[in-house]
Amino acid sequence: MSDTNLQPVIDTALRSAPPAELTPGKVYAFHTPQGVHKIDLTGPEYRDQPARKTGTTTVRDAQSFLSYFEKHADTATEVYADADHLTVTAVLDASSTEAARWGDHRLRLSLRTTEAWEQWKANDGKLLGQAAFAEFLEDHLPELLEPSAAEMLEIAQSIQGVTRAEFTAGTRLSNGQRQLSYVETTTAKAGQKGQLTIPETFVIGLVPFEGSEGYKLTARFRYRIGRDGELAMGYKLDRPGDILRTAFTDVTNQVGEQIDVPLMNGQPA
């Protein structure tokens, strides 16, 4: 019998053969009348579970970082601290001297500044109108440490109380405070003179990052008397960048003390 006559018999035999069970995770190739046919069963849809851990998990505080790290890290894990971006990154499946690994299972601590920090920074170095500045102080009484919140509230109320006045001069007193002289311009008190005393500096307490510790910052009062006697007031924070770097260092120290691998300075590849 010729090969041509045998082919229908072969095709019939192949179609009638019982199905074969293939093992997931492998690639199979076999001949068909149309050529070589390949079946790839290595994809994740053919597995009961992923072949390996992948992806980047982002957390916002040191404790969350340590909790995830403890669960997934091993002795080859690498950890990097980047002060420029306020991040700590762990490459949980980093390559070791014994074996190359993928390096795509990562944990990132991305610190986020608090709302109070952002609000104080937003007005740092700016001069506001009397009413706006007094309102800002009242809104932030919980952060005011020295003078006390009660004293600062009194100062804020005093500032609001003389919004309808023409300021004429500012004098520095022997105790370091500033004394601003003014003349009332309201109809009922027109011509009445007065003085407004404010401290030269005050101390605030701020938590720079969500979940971090609090730090003290010194702020210096600023003011300007315009040509029309209007008073503009504000403050200048003393080296807030240093406080932010100190807070970041404290966070990285907290992480470094709780992990068993070196904490390197920089970013992973």
Confidence of residue 196 (pLDDT cuts 50, 70, 90): confident
Closest CA to 212 of 79, 62, 80, 86: 62
Whether residue 59 is found in the same domain as residue 148: no
Whether residue 103 is found in the same domain as residue 189: no
Whether residue 124 is found in the same domain as residue 213: yes
For range 131-141, the mean pLDDT: 93
For range 204-210, the mean pLDDT: 98
Give residue 74's pLDDT. 95
**Whole-angstrom distance, CA of residue 241 vs CA of residue 258:** 26
Instruction: Calculate the alpha carbon distances from 182 to 161, 197, 240 in Å.
Output: 12, 11, 33
Residue 45, pLDDT > 80, answer: no
What is the strand order of the sheet 127-129 is part of? 127-129, 231-237, 215-225, 201-206, 144-146
Whether residue 122 is found in the same domain as residue 232: yes
Give residue 188's pLDDT. 42
Whether residue 140 is found in the same domain as residue 188: yes
pLDDT digits (tens, 9 = 90+) for 85-133: 999 999 999 999 889 999 999 999 999 999 999 999 999 999 998 889 9
Whether residue 90 is found in the same domain as residue 183: no
Whether residue 160 is found in the same domain as residue 183: yes
Whether this model's pTM surpasses 0.85:
no
Whether residue 195 is found in the same domain as residue 91: no
Whether residue 150 is found in the same domain as residue 106: no
197 vs 41: which has the higher pLDDT: 197
Domains held by the chain: number:
3
Whether residue 164 is found in the same domain as residue 234: yes
Domain of residue 177, residue span: 115-239
Whether residue 228 is found in the same domain as residue 124: yes
Whether residue 166 is found in the same domain as residue 90: no
Give residue 246's pLDDT. 97
259 vs 197: which has the higher pLDDT: 259
